Structure 1
Amino acid sequence: MRLDKFLKVSRLIKRRTLAKEVADQGRITINGLVAKASSTVAVGDEMTIRFGNKIVTVQIDGIKEHAKKEEATDMYKIIREEKVNSQESM
């Protein structure tokens, strides 16, 4: 599944267009490699997303084309969540 679609379906990012923008800015890595919106994600991949002042690392546990709100969190497991100083993220 495409990265931007996975982020939307799993509700890690609410809109697919926003997921594409974040990926295009180089703020997402999959297994240590910078990912584009069109990158393919698979079960077992480790993904790191840099939001404004925090970095979230998740492991992909499942892929579904559509997921209800209750099922969305079953698609991934949060491994790490780190706060970042605003000066470090620049």
Structure 2
Amino acid sequence: MAATFRRDIDIDIAHNYLTIRAKRNEYHEEKDDTNKMIRRERRSGEFVRRFYVDHVDEEGIKAKLDQGVLKLEIPKRQDDDRSRRQIQID
């Protein structure tokens, strides 16, 4: 299993979309006792996931990578009360 590095993961937010990108580049080489090449493998891939987020405090978003698990903390905006509005009847 390949290790996950912080430089392989990119997280950004723009226009109410939170985007997570992760790249994987693996290289494996196997040699015999005389240092002769038996097998060489390369694998690479990219993962992209987008989430629509609304009413969030963009400056307060935190990300933590711990033992290969990415955790995001996305706080709501405190001053935003646009989810419900009372309409006066004339």
Q: For the superposition of Structure 1 and Structure 2, which TM-score range results when normalised by the shorter chain?
A: under 0.3
Higher strand share: 2
Name the TM-score, length of structure 1 as normaliser: 0.24
Higher relative contact order structure (alpha carbons within 8 Å, sequence separation ≥ 6): 1
Higher helix share: 1
Point out the structure with max Rg over C-alpha. Answer: 2
